[in-house]
Amino acid sequence: MKRKQKRESASKAKRTLRSRKHLDVKPKGQRLFRLLAYQPVSVTSAEPKVIVLQVAGKVCRFFLVPVHDDASAQRAAGGSWIHVEFVDDDPDILRATS
């Protein structure tokens, strides 16, 4: 049951990420990489925010989304989805992140 809920929640988080236009037009020839991670700790804010940080010389945008839509379920179970976006010239994600 928990796996099914996590899968449904992950697909909801991916749809949310796709529906938002977070990055402006990227330069030609560059690739947009998106990573999605789950963390058991609940992180919420009053309104959605974009956190921009530079990691390993790349400008990355971080988005925190609660796992559950219902506030009481979120308080009881917790959990957050972390979205990370960055742009790089290399089409290989392993080389782009090294």
* pLDDT tens figures, 22-68: 445 556 678 888 889 988 888 777 677 788 988 888 889 998 888 88
- Exposed/middle/buried for 48, CB within 10 Å: 0-12, 13-18, 19+? exposed
**pLDDT beyond 70 at 95:** yes
| pLDDT for the residue 16 | 54
- For the segment 85-94, the average pLDDT, to the nearest whole number, is 86
Query: What region, left, alpha or beta, does residue 45 occupy, with left being phi > 0 and alpha being psi -120 to 50 degrees?
Result: beta
pLDDT digits (tens, 9 = 90+) for 57-68: 888 999 888 888
pLDDT category at 12 given cuts 50, 70, 90 is: low
